[in-house]
């Protein structure tokens, strides 16, 4: 699971009001290099919840992201490459996503998060 994917997932368990951001408990993480595309990174940045991304990067120790992003930073190739790395190259292969409200754990296996709920959770 890439951190861009993590950034859009939330817990939809019955009774959970927000369910975002999910906490990451990773047991296996790897870096999978991908081609850098500056325009793509700039485009997806608009969809990123910055606080959740910073927290995930900190948890996985995969990059120090600034507290806030300025318009000037989005013109800086070094910053954009770091953002590309955190969003698209860091992959959680095994572990759990944990709902911050209910504590419900969703497994991640082979890089795929299983967000399916049990019948009693719907």
Whether 16 contacts 101, CB under 8 Å: yes
Structural domain contains residue 122: no
In the DSSP assignment, the letter for residue 75 is: G
Q: pLDDT tier at 104 (50, 70, 90 boundaries)? A: very high
Instruction: Tell me which residue range forms the domain holding 45.
Output: 3-115
pLDDT digits (tens, 9 = 90+) for 36-82: 999 999 999 999 999 999 999 999 999 889 999 999 999 999 999 99
Half-sphere exposure of 5 (CA within 13 A, CB side): 16
Cis before 48? omega within 30: no
Structural domain contains residue 120: no
Structural domain contains residue 34: yes
Distances (CA, A) of 71 to 51, 56, 74, 84: 17, 22, 5, 17
- What pLDDT shows up at residue 11? 98
- What pLDDT shows up at residue 113? 98
Whether 89 contacts 34, CB under 8 Å: yes
* pTM (2 d.p.): 0.94
pLDDT digits (tens, 9 = 90+) for 13-31: 999 999 999 999 999 999 9
Structural domain contains residue 121: no
- What pLDDT shows up at residue 6? 98
Whether 14 contacts 87, CB under 8 Å: no
């Amino acid at each position: 699971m890439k951190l861009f994917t993590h950034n859009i997932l939330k817990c939809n368990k019955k009774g959970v009001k927000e369910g975002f951001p999910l906490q990451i408990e990773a047991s296996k993480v790897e870096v999978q290099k991908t081609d850098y595309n500056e325009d793509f990174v700039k485009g997806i940045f608009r969809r990123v919840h910055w606080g959740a991304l910073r927290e995930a990067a900190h948890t996985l120790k995969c990059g120090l992201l600034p507290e806030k992003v300025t318009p000037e930073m989005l013109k800086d190739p070094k910053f954009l490459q770091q953002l590309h790395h955190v969003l698209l190259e860091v992959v959680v292969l095994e572990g759990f996503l944990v709902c911050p409200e209910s504590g419900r754990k969703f497994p991640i296996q082979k890089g795929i998060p299983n967000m399916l709920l049990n019948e009693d959770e719907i």
